[in-house]
Structure 1
Amino acid sequence: MAQGAREAQASATDSEFDRDTSVTLREPGVYDADLSEGWTILSAVNGGYLLAIVARALRDALPHPDPFTVTAHYLTPSKPGPAVVRTEAVRTGRTLATGQASLFQYEADGTEVERVRVLAAYGALHSLDDDVHTSVKPPVLPPPEQCLGTEDGPAAFPDDSGFAQRVAIRLDPATTGWAVGAPSGKGEMRGWFSLADAREPDPLSLLLTVDSFPPTAFDLGLMGWTPTVELTTHVRARPAPGPLRVFVTTRNLAGGYLEEDAEVWDTADRLVAQSRQLARAPRSGRAPEGR
């Protein structure tokens, strides 16, 4: 087994996130995975969790360790159970490598179905210089103890969601009016994010973080399932230890689809991740059979 594959398996002992996103090398470029029921919302597996699994396989397959940009198209709904990730190195260079990967599952009759297709560029975050010129600022949030979790009122995630047990999200009360039937109409979510088992953030977990908050459609007064069509994430720096601050906003809903822009800030006030996704606006309160 390759050294990288041994490291990928070794990381699976670190936390629930690491165990549940672990991959096992079957043959060059092909990895086996198991999609845990613990990262579902209703019957659907969270898209950020899926992205972390595929990104872990690509990290093992490519010569550079960190995802810089990851674009995923979600083709069919994923479900808990076995999966296989097939990777391909598209181009490798001294500082960046580009790869593509797809996650597949099997139907009851053995038919293989592609769930997610990813194109990503990897590099080494530790090699980047510290020179930063930016006009964006971290969101101003109340301290975590003054923010609201699912235990404080109507749940952001359904009762049968395993996802809500594995993340610690504390929302700014100013963005939770939707939970009591009074959405602001601004299309914003702000709050604190950590993994429930206190695992410290890293580049792979940032791919989960950007897709972890309740949909901004809720703040527009649209409650229900909001399936992701495409999600692009830029990882800008390796995050410092501690809780992350997340700001998500929607500025345009048209034709039944909306965009969500997310920013993730660490305890050192650095913008460590950015994302944009296109999602279908809610049409019902339950997960659809398919996209």
Structure 2
Amino acid sequence: MQATDGCENTDFATATAVVRRGTSPHVFDGRLRPEWKSDGRLTGSILLTMAARAAARTMHIETDKFFPSVLSACFLSTAQPGPVTVRAELLRSGSRITTGQASLSQCTRDGQYTERMRALITHGKFDDRPVDAGTTPPRIPAPDACVGRQNTPARLVERLDMVAGLDVRLSPACVGWLFDSPARSGRFDGWVRLTDGQPPDPMLLLVAIASLPPISFDFGQAGWLPMVQLTAHIRAKPAPGWLQVSTSTRIGSDQSVIEDAEVWDSEGTLVVQSRQFAAPT
């Protein structure tokens, strides 16, 4: 991966890593890197991924086995690149269900800690065999036939505003908004993988659900709306290879949008579902 904004490493695991403080077993330190920005803002799913890693360690769960899990997060203020503190807490530990919470904060210029995000995380200790969800991914062109940075006119590349470290390809049917001709279908389809070729894991799924451009672009709304709330259901560990992502909306306006996402792995297994609410804050 190539570094951006002066950063030397955009490795996904490194970029979302947290380190436990020696004197505080449930307090973790991390750093939000500027290359994980979208429209000048740090994408909320990166914050959730860091919180999920801290919660997994507190809940004694290996992150590569972080499924099935349900995560519900509220984003309380705008995060900035730099150090973060994550406080995780085990709320309930049962034979089948474990629940915890995590809060991500930053120290502001006035020396006060400001909470950026708070999440509830529930993990199920079940058989890890994926369950047939009764759904199949939509038929879209292969990644090489889809639209990414590599085959977008130079004058339009900035409009894609893809997050560094991710290789995102949009179905040709979903890029009319790039040319000021939005389809107004309320649906985006595409492919996502890490640019360094690393196989996906359950943590990457939390980023994949928010990797495509905002669905509001399909209705000609050029501005990005901040993520206010996100609920994600991780269903299975993804197989190596590309992730196919589909986002859609039925309810939206100039002021807010509710966006659903589904992600399938390279074997056609539905691995994560989510719903997010975005609106001006």
Output the TM-score relative to the length of structure 2: 0.89
Using the alignment, how far apart are the partners of 2:95 and 2:173 within structure 1? 46
Per-residue displacement from partner, 1:122-151 (whole Å, max 9, x unpaired)? 2346x234542x332212110111100023
Q: 1:265 to 1:104 in 2, by over 3 A?
A: same
CA root-mean-square deviation: 1.9
C-alpha displacement at 1:157, in angstroms? 4.9
Where does residue 128 of structure 1 map in the other structure? 128
Write the letter of the residue equivalent to 1:112. Answer: Y
Using the alignment, how far apart are the partners of 1:60 and 1:232 within structure 2? 20
Using the alignment, how far apart are the partners of 2:279 and 2:159 within structure 1? 18
Using the alignment, how far apart are the partners of 1:254 and 1:267 within structure 2? 34
Matched position secondary structure for 1:182: coil
Q: 1:155 to 1:255 in 2, by over 3 A?
A: closer
Matched position secondary structure for 1:18: helix
Matched position secondary structure for 2:271: strand
Equivalent residue runs for 1:9-20 within 5 Å: 16-20=11-15
Equivalent residue runs for 1:194-205 within 5 Å: 194-205=193-204
The question of whether the paired residues in 2 share the 8 Å contact of 1:23 and 1:33 is answered with: yes
Where does residue 82 of structure 1 map in the other structure? 83
Are residue 180 (structure 1) and residue 179 (structure 2) matched? yes
Matched position secondary structure for 2:163: helix
Which of 31, 41, 44 is the aligned partner of 1:44? 41
The question of whether the paired residues in 1 share the 8 Å contact of 2:129 and 2:236 is answered with: no
The question of whether the paired residues in 1 share the 8 Å contact of 2:143 and 2:191 is answered with: yes
Using the alignment, how far apart are the partners of 2:195 and 2:252 within structure 1? 32
The question of whether the paired residues in 2 share the 8 Å contact of 1:240 and 1:267 is answered with: yes
Where does residue 211 of structure 1 map in the other structure? 210
Equivalent residue runs for 1:88-127 within 5 Å: 88-124=89-125, 127=127
Using the alignment, how far apart are the partners of 1:79 and 1:212 within structure 2? 19
Using the alignment, how far apart are the partners of 1:156 and 1:218 within structure 2? 14
Write the letter of the residue equivalent to 1:128. Answer: D
Q: 1:211 to 1:156 in 2, by over 3 A?
A: farther
Where does residue 189 of structure 2 map in the other structure? 190
C-alpha displacement at 1:255, in angstroms? 7.3
The question of whether the paired residues in 2 share the 8 Å contact of 1:103 and 1:117 is answered with: yes
Report the count of equivalent residues. Answer: 264
Which of 9, 28, 32 is the aligned partner of 2:25? 28
Matched position secondary structure for 1:201: coil
The question of whether the paired residues in 2 share the 8 Å contact of 1:150 and 1:156 is answered with: no
Matched position secondary structure for 1:247: strand
Q: What's the % identity of the aligned pairs?
A: 38
The question of whether the paired residues in 1 share the 8 Å contact of 2:228 and 2:278 is answered with: yes
Per-residue displacement from partner, 1:6-32 (whole Å, max 9, x unpaired)? xxxxxxxx9700111111111111000
Q: 1:263 to 1:131 in 2, by over 3 A?
A: closer
Moved over 3 A (4+): 128-131
Where does residue 11 of structure 1 map in the other structure? none
Write the letter of the residue equivalent to 1:185. Answer: R
C-alpha displacement at 1:48, in angstroms? 1.1
The question of whether the paired residues in 2 share the 8 Å contact of 1:156 and 1:179 is answered with: no
Larger mean Cα displacement after TM superposition, 20-29 or 238-247: 20-29
The question of whether the paired residues in 1 share the 8 Å contact of 2:163 and 2:211 is answered with: no
Output the TM-score relative to the length of structure 1: 0.86
Using the alignment, how far apart are the partners of 1:58 and 1:30 within structure 2? 10
Using the alignment, how far apart are the partners of 1:22 and 1:258 within structure 2? 30
Are residue 155 (structure 1) and residue 157 (structure 2) matched? yes
C-alpha displacement at 1:247, in angstroms? 0.3
Write the letter of the residue equivalent to 1:100. Answer: Q
